[in-house]
C-alpha cells in the first residue's frame, strides 16, 4: 500500500471482472479530459472504440494490455494500462503506456505520479534486467503533456493517426528510457 499525502492508497492489477469499473471510471475521466478537445461525435466514437466491453476484453485477453486500478481510501480513483511491444532493434524492450487517468476529484493528490511509478516498476520487472523504455501517445492539446514532461518524458515525435470514421488522434509520442 502506498500513501499519497495522508490517504491510504492502493494500486492493484485489474482483471476482466473489473471491466465494468474501468468503463464507469472512463465514462467520467475520459469525457472530462477531452470535452474541450474532441467533438461530441468523436468522443462517442472513441469511447466505444476504446472502452466498450468487447474492446476492453480484447485489450486484456488478446492484445496484451495490463490494467491497474488505483484506490484512495477504498474508493476507485483512476486506472492505468501498459502494453508490451517486445525487443526493439536498439536492444531495448518497448512498452506503450496506453492509458493513465485520474478522476477529477482526485487530481492533484499525486495519484497519477504513483500510478506512473507503479507502471515503471512493472515494466522494469517485465524486462527482466534488459534495457527498456516506455512511450505514450498524448493529444497535443491535452494539459497532461506538462505532467508527462514533469515525470521526465520527452516529446519524441508527433503525428496525426487515423482511427476510423474520418477521425484522427493528433498526438505527441512521448517517451523515456527506464533504468
For 20-27, what is the mean pLDDT? 98
What's the confidence (pLDDT) of residue 179?
76
Please give the residue that has the higher pLDDT: either 13 or 90: 13
pLDDT tops 60 at residue 8:
yes
For 85-100, what is the mean pLDDT? 94
User: What are the pLDDT digits (tens) for 128-142?
Assistant: 989 999 999 999 999
- For the chain, the distance separating the N- and C-terminal CA atoms, rounded to the nearest angstrom, is 23
pLDDT tops 80 at residue 29:
yes
φ/ψ region of 29 (left if φ > 0, alpha if ψ in -120 to 50, else beta) reads: alpha
For the chain, list the domains and their CATH numbers. Answer: 9-178 (3.40.630.30)
pLDDT tops 80 at residue 3:
no
pLDDT tops 90 at residue 118:
yes
pTM to 2 decimal places: 0.92
Cβ pair 156, 173 in contact under 8 A: yes
Cβ pair 139, 43 in contact under 8 A: no
Amino acid at each position: 500500500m502506498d500513501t499519497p499525502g495522508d490517504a491510504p492508497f492502493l494500486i492493484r492489477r485489474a482483471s476482466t471482472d473489473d471491466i465494468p469499473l474501468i468503463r464507469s471510471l472512463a465514462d467520467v475521466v475520459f469525457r472530462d479530459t477531452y470535452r474541450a478537445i474532441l467533438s461530441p461525435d468523436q468522443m462517442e466514437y472513441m469511447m466505444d472504440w476504446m472502452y466498450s466491453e468487447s474492446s476492453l476484453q480484447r485489450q486484456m485477453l488478446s492484445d496484451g494490455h495490463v490494467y491497474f486500478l488505483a484506490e484512495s481510501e477504498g474508493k476507485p480513483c483512476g486506472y492505468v494500462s501498459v502494453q508490451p511491444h517486445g525487443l526493439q532493434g536498439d536492444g531495448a524492450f518497448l512498452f506503450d503506456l496506453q492509458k493513465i487517468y485520474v478522476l477529477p476529484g482526485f487530481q492533484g493528490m499525486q495519484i497519477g505520479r504513483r500510478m506512473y511509478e507503479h507502471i515503471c516498476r512493472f515494466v522494469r520487472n517485465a524486462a527482466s534486467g534488459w534495457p527498456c523504455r516506455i512511450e505514450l501517445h498524448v493529444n497535443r492539446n491535452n494539459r497532461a503533456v506538462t505532467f508527462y514532461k514533469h515525470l521526465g518524458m520527452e516529446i519524441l515525435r508527433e503525428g496525426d493517426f487515423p482511427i476510423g470514421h474520418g477521425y484522427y488522434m493528433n498526438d505527441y509520442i512521448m517517451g523515456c528510457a527506464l533504468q
